[in-house]
Amino acid sequence: WYDAKKQSADMTVTAEPRHSAHSYSFAGEAARALFDRTKDISWAEKWYDAKKQSADMTVNTEPLHSAHAYSFAGNAARAVFDKTGDISWAKKWYYTYKQSADMTVTAEPRHSAHSYSFAGNAAKALSNATRNISWTERAIDCYQKFLSYYEINPNPRMDAVIHRIGNDVIFLQGFVR
């Protein structure tokens, strides 16, 4: 399944870029399923590559597809980071979720808010791993965007998450003062 979708995507990049982009996305789903089943990190890397390729190809033509594909690439990057601790994957986790959030502020504000929270989680992990204050500041910024959305759009089902993120902001602010 993965090989067929990847081959289809590779073969149609120039002739049918829309088909190619969606085939990369399907290949990413196949790689995700194989990673979930095998826990083989190479499948998570293929999952990331395919979703990121799909997102990159559709930024200007299908921005919502692109934004969602970036968030799925973020899931893959987090999976690799969680298994390896490799900082480069935490950065990919952050940047893909941040891209997704930035792209959907107006079109899908709730998706944007959640993507900001996930980008914040990645920035917090990078702050912990590198002790670089700029990652702490990025985590706070992303978390505050998430919290701002729920100040305007309260949802009692999100109270525990809102509370945790609010506490994280207070904690992280102690490092930047």
- Write out pLDDT tens, residues 5-17: 788 887 888 888 8
- Write out pLDDT tens, residues 141-163: 999 999 999 999 999 999 999 99
Instruction: Reply yes or no on whether the pLDDT at 1 is more than 80.
Output: no
- Helix segments in the chain, DSSP class H: 2-11, 17-38, 41-58, 63-84, 87-103, 109-130, 133-152, 159-176
Crossing angle of the two packed helices 63-84 and 109-130, in degrees rounded to 10: 30
Provide the pLDDT for residue 169.
97
- Write out pLDDT tens, residues 70-93: 999 999 999 999 999 999 999 999
Q: Are 119 and 67 in contact (CB under 8 A)?
A: no
- Write out pLDDT tens, residues 17-60: 888 899 999 999 999 999 999 999 999 999 999 999 999 999 99
User: Who's near 150: CB < 8 A, 6+ residues apart?
Assistant: 113, 158, 162
Using CA atoms, how far apart are residues 142 and 93, in angstroms rounded to an integer?
A: 13
Provide the pLDDT for residue 3.
75
Instruction: Reply yes or no on whether the pLDDT at 2 is more than 90.
Output: no
Using CA atoms, how far apart are residues 151 and 29, in angstroms rounded to an integer?
A: 34
Provide the pLDDT for residue 160.
97
- Write out pLDDT tens, residues 93-141: 999 999 999 999 999 999 999 999 999 999 999 999 999 999 999 999 9
How many other β-carbons are positioned within 10 Å of the β-carbon of residue 74? 29
Provide the pLDDT for residue 7.
81
Task: Give Cα 43 distance to the centre of its chain.
Answer: 17
SS3 59: coil
Provide the pLDDT for residue 9.
83
Q: What is this structure's pTM?
A: 0.93
Using CA atoms, how far apart are residues 155 and 137, in angstroms rounded to an integer?
A: 26
Q: Are 103 and 85 in contact (CB under 8 A)?
A: no
Provide the pLDDT for residue 115.
98
The tokens for 175 are: 């490092």
Crossing angle of the two packed helices 63-84 and 17-38, in degrees rounded to 10: 30
End-to-end Cα, the chain, rounded Å: 52
